[in-house]
Amino acid sequence: MYLTRFRINTARVGARRLLSSSQRLHAAVMSSFVEAAPRHEEGGPRVLWRIDRNAKPEVILYVVSPDRPDLTHLVEQAGWPTTGTWQTYDYADFLSRLTAGDTWAFRLTANPVHNIRRTADEPRKRTAHLTPRYQAQWLLKRQKEAGFRVLEKPKEQRRLAEGDEHQLIIHGRDPRSFGKTEEATGRKNHVSLVAVTFDGRLEITDADAMRRTLTSGLGKAKAYGCGLMTLAPVG
C-alpha cells in the first residue's frame, strides 16, 4: 500500500476544474494507475482519496492505493511542474506496525448518511446527516467495527451537558453537487452528497480492523473523496 501527498496549485485553471467536481477528480486520480483498477471485492483494499483544505492556498490531495501512482498529469494540470511534484510514502510498513492500544490523532472525510422513509408507504431513501450531533453519532456507531475508539474528553473540558463527550471536531461541511454520465446506460445523471471532516483522537482496539478501515475506507461515496482516514502522531 502507498500513501501519496500532492499539493494543488489553486491559482491554476486546471485546479479549479478539478476541485469543482468530485467526478472529474475521481477520474484524474484513477488515471494515475497504469493498470486499470480491477473491480475491488467488498472490504478489500481500494483506491481512496481526500482533499484537505488546510488554508486557502494550501489544498492537499491524499491518495491511498494498493499500487504506486504517477501523478504527472495532475502536476501538469494543477501543480507546480518545475518545482513541486508529489510524494509517495510506503504505507504497508506503517500499517504493519499498528497495534491495539496505540493512540493517534485522526482525520476522516466521510459522507454520513442513513436510510429513512417519511411515511410508511414510501420507499426508504438514502439521506444525509446534516447536523454535527448526528454526524458524530454516525461515526461513533461505526467505531467498534472499524477497530478504534474515539477518546473521551475530561469532564472539565466539556462544554455541553450532552453530545460533547468525545475528543472530536466536525468541520468543513461540504455539500458537493456535480454531473455524471452513468457508465452502464450512458444517461446523464446528477449526484449530490454532503461530506464532512472529522478531526479527533482515537485508540486502536483491533489492529486488523483498523488496517482494513485505513485501506478500504469508511462509509459511502468512497469514489468521491469520502471515507479515507489518516493517522498522525498525537501532538
Partner 1 sequence: MSVLLLRLAGSLQSWGSAARFARRTTESAPTKSGVIGLLAAAQGRDRGDDLTDLAALRFGVRVDQPGTRIRDYQTAHHGDTDKSMPVSERFYLSDAVFVAAVEGDGVLIDELYRALRAPAYLPYLGRRSCPPSKPVELTVHMDVGLEGALAGERWHAAEWYQRRLRREKTVALEVIVESRSGGDDPGDTLRDQPLSFDPRHRRYGLRTVRSTSVRVPNPLARTVAARRTPPPDHNPATVLKGV
CA distances to 91, 104, 144 from 88, rounded to whole Å, are: 9, 21, 30
DSSP 195: E
Other beta carbons within 10 angstroms of residue 126's beta carbon come to 11
Place of cell 500532492: 6
Contact 88, 3 (CB under 8 A): yes
Residue of 14, 172, 174, 203 interacting with partner 1 (CB under 8 A): 172
| Segment interacting with partner 1 (CB under 8 A) among 23-31, 41-49, 86-94, 119-127 | 86-94
Residue of 39, 159, 188, 190 interacting with partner 1 (CB under 8 A): 159
Taking the complex as a whole, the smallest distance from the CB of residue 202 to partner 1 amounts, in Å, to 13
Three cell numbers at 184? 452502464
Residue of 10, 88, 103, 137 interacting with partner 1 (CB under 8 A): 88
Residues numbered 94 to 133 that lie near partner 1 (CB under 8 A) are 94, 105, 107
Residue of 152, 199, 203, 206 interacting with partner 1 (CB under 8 A): 199
Place of cell 457508465: 183
| Segment interacting with partner 1 (CB under 8 A) among 16-24, 89-97, 176-184, 217-225 | 89-97
**d(Cα 55, Cα 185) in Å, to the nearest integer?**
40
Does 222 bind partner 1 (CB under 8 A)? Our answer is no
Residue of 22, 32, 197, 215 interacting with partner 1 (CB under 8 A): 197
Does 215 bind partner 1 (CB under 8 A)? Our answer is no
Taking the complex as a whole, the smallest distance from the CB of residue 3 to partner 1 amounts, in Å, to 6
Does 40 bind partner 1 (CB under 8 A)? Our answer is no
| Segment interacting with partner 1 (CB under 8 A) among 12-20, 120-128, 146-154, 167-175 | 167-175
Place of cell 482515537: 202
Closest to 223 measured CA to CA, from 38, 29, 66, 1:
29
**d(Cα 69, Cα 30) in Å, to the nearest integer?**
9
Long-range contacts of 13-16 (CB under 8 A, 24+ apart): 14/76, 14/77, 14/78, 15/59, 15/77, 15/78
Q: Which is nearer to partner 1, 87 or 181 (CB)?
A: 87
Q: Which residues bind partner 1 (CB under 8 A)?
A: 2-3, 5, 52, 54, 62, 68, 87-91, 93-94, 105, 107, 159, 169, 171-172, 197, 199, 230-233, 235
